[in-house]
Amino acid sequence: MKKIIIFICLVCFLSGKSITLKFIQDKPEGIVRDFYIWQYISDEKTTIEQAKKAYELVFNKTPRIQKAMETKGVITEMPKDIFCKNLNFEELINEDGECLSYGLKLSDIFKFSTKDIDSILNKVKPINPSLFEQIKILHSKNVLESMLQTSAKNFGMIFNGLTYLQKLELLNKSIPHKKLENLANQNNVIFNKMLHTIILDSRFELFKKSLSKANITKSDTNTFFLLGINQILNHNDKKALLYFQRSQNAAIDPFMRDRALFWQYLISQNKTVLKQLSDSIFVDIFSIYANQKLQTKPKYQIISAFDNISSKNPDFNIKDPFEWQILRDNIFAVKDDGEYKKILQYFEYEKTLPHLVYFLNRATKYQVNYFITPYKKLMSSMDDDEKSMVYAIARQESHLLPALISRSYALGIMQIMPFNVLPFAKEMNLKNIELSDMFDPKIALKFGNHYLNSLKEEFQHPLFVSYAYNGGPGFLRRLLAKNELFLKGRKYEPWLSMELLPYEESRFYGMKVMANYIIYEDLFGRKINIEKFLEKTLIYTKDKK
pLDDT in tens, 194-226: 999 999 999 999 999 999 999 999 999 999 999
74 occurs within a structural domain: yes
In angstroms, rounded to a whole number, what is the distance separating the alpha carbons of residues 59 and 41?
Answer: 14
- C-alpha atoms less than 13 angstroms from C-alpha of 203 in its C-beta half-sphere: 10
The answer for residues whose C-beta is within 8 angstroms of residue 253's C-beta and 6 or more apart is 221
Check residue 541 and give its pLDDT: 75
pLDDT band at 365 (very low <50, low <70, confident <90, very high): confident
Assess contact for 318 and 351: CB atoms under 8 A: yes
Residue 324 has pLDDT above 90, yes or no: yes
259 occurs within a structural domain: yes
Q: What are phi and psi of 380, to 5 degrees?
A: -65, -25
pLDDT band at 86 (very low <50, low <70, confident <90, very high): confident
First to last CA, the chain: 65
Residue type, 521: E
Give just the sign of the alpha carbon dihedral 194, 195, 196, 197. Answer: positive
Beta bridge partners of 369: 302
- Whether 159 and 293 map to the same domain: the answer is no
- DSSP class of residue 413 equals T
Check residue 542 and give its pLDDT: 65
Check residue 84 and give its pLDDT: 87
Residue type, 75: I
Check residue 75 and give its pLDDT: 67
In angstroms, rounded to a whole number, what is the distance separating the alpha carbons of residues 382 and 449?
Answer: 8
- C-alpha atoms less than 13 angstroms from C-alpha of 543 in its C-beta half-sphere: 0
Residue type, 403: A
SS3 percent helix, strand, coil of the chain, rounded to 5, is 65, 0, 35
Residue 354 has pLDDT above 90, yes or no: yes
Check residue 14 and give its pLDDT: 36
How many domains does one find in the chain?
Answer: 5
Residue 13 has pLDDT above 60, yes or no: no
In angstroms, rounded to a whole number, what is the distance separating the alpha carbons of residues 61 and 34?
Answer: 8
Average pLDDT over residues 125-151: 96
Element (H, E) at 5: helix 2-14
pLDDT band at 6 (very low <50, low <70, confident <90, very high): very low
Percent share of the chain, pLDDT over 90: 87
- Whether 313 and 419 map to the same domain: the answer is no
Closest CA to 358 of 345, 346, 370, 374: 370
- Whether 409 and 521 map to the same domain: the answer is yes
- Whether 282 and 309 map to the same domain: the answer is no
457 occurs within a structural domain: yes
pLDDT digits (tens, 9 = 90+) for 34-69: 999 999 999 999 999 999 999 999 999 888 998 899
Assess contact for 398 and 415: CB atoms under 8 A: yes
Cα 472 → chain centroid: 13
Residue 79 has pLDDT above 70, yes or no: yes
Q: State how far the alpha carbon of 185 is from the alpha carbons of 179, 256, 369, in Å.
A: 10, 20, 36
Instruction: Write out the E strands in 254-357.
Output: 302-303
Residue type, 116: D
Residue 544 has pLDDT above 70, yes or no: no
Residue 7 has pLDDT above 50, yes or no: no
Check residue 76 and give its pLDDT: 66
Residue 308 has pLDDT above 70, yes or no: yes
- Whether 243 and 206 map to the same domain: the answer is no
pLDDT band at 170 (very low <50, low <70, confident <90, very high): very high
In angstroms, rounded to a whole number, what is the distance separating the alpha carbons of residues 526 and 384?
Answer: 9
134 occurs within a structural domain: no
In angstroms, rounded to a whole number, what is the distance separating the alpha carbons of residues 160 and 422?
Answer: 37
Check residue 16 and give its pLDDT: 39
Check residue 5 and give its pLDDT: 42
- Whether 418 and 537 map to the same domain: the answer is yes
Beta bridge partners of 540: 487
115 occurs within a structural domain: no
Average pLDDT over residues 17-28: 89
427 occurs within a structural domain: yes
106 occurs within a structural domain: no
- Whether 423 and 534 map to the same domain: the answer is yes
Q: What are phi and psi of 479, to 5 degrees?
A: -65, -50
Mean pLDDT computed over every residue of the chain:
93
In angstroms, rounded to a whole number, what is the distance separating the alpha carbons of residues 392 and 512?
Answer: 9
CB-count burial class (<10 Å; 0-12, 13-18, 19+) for 349: buried
Assess contact for 264 and 273: CB atoms under 8 A: yes
379 occurs within a structural domain: no
Assess contact for 390 and 376: CB atoms under 8 A: no
- Whether 61 and 198 map to the same domain: the answer is no
Residue 441, domain extent: 393-541
- Whether 466 and 509 map to the same domain: the answer is yes
Residue 529 has pLDDT above 90, yes or no: yes
Domain boundary among 279, 300, 321: 300
Tell me how crowded residue 10 is: count the other CB atoms within 10 A of its CB: 14
Average pLDDT over residues 335-340: 92
In angstroms, rounded to a whole number, what is the distance separating the alpha carbons of residues 380 and 372?
Answer: 16
Residue 254 has pLDDT above 90, yes or no: yes
- Whether 408 and 511 map to the same domain: the answer is yes
- Whether 245 and 185 map to the same domain: the answer is no
Residue 178 has pLDDT above 90, yes or no: yes
Whole-number CA gyration radius for the chain: 26
Q: Where on the phi/psi map is residue 460: left (φ > 0), alpha (ψ -120 to 50), or beta?
A: left
The pTM of the full predicted model, rounded to 2 decimals, is 0.92
Domain boundary among 275, 300, 325: 300
Domain boundary among 197, 219, 241: 219
Element (H, E) at 428: none
Residue type, 450: H
| CATH number of 486's domain | 1.10.530.10
- Whether 334 and 419 map to the same domain: the answer is no
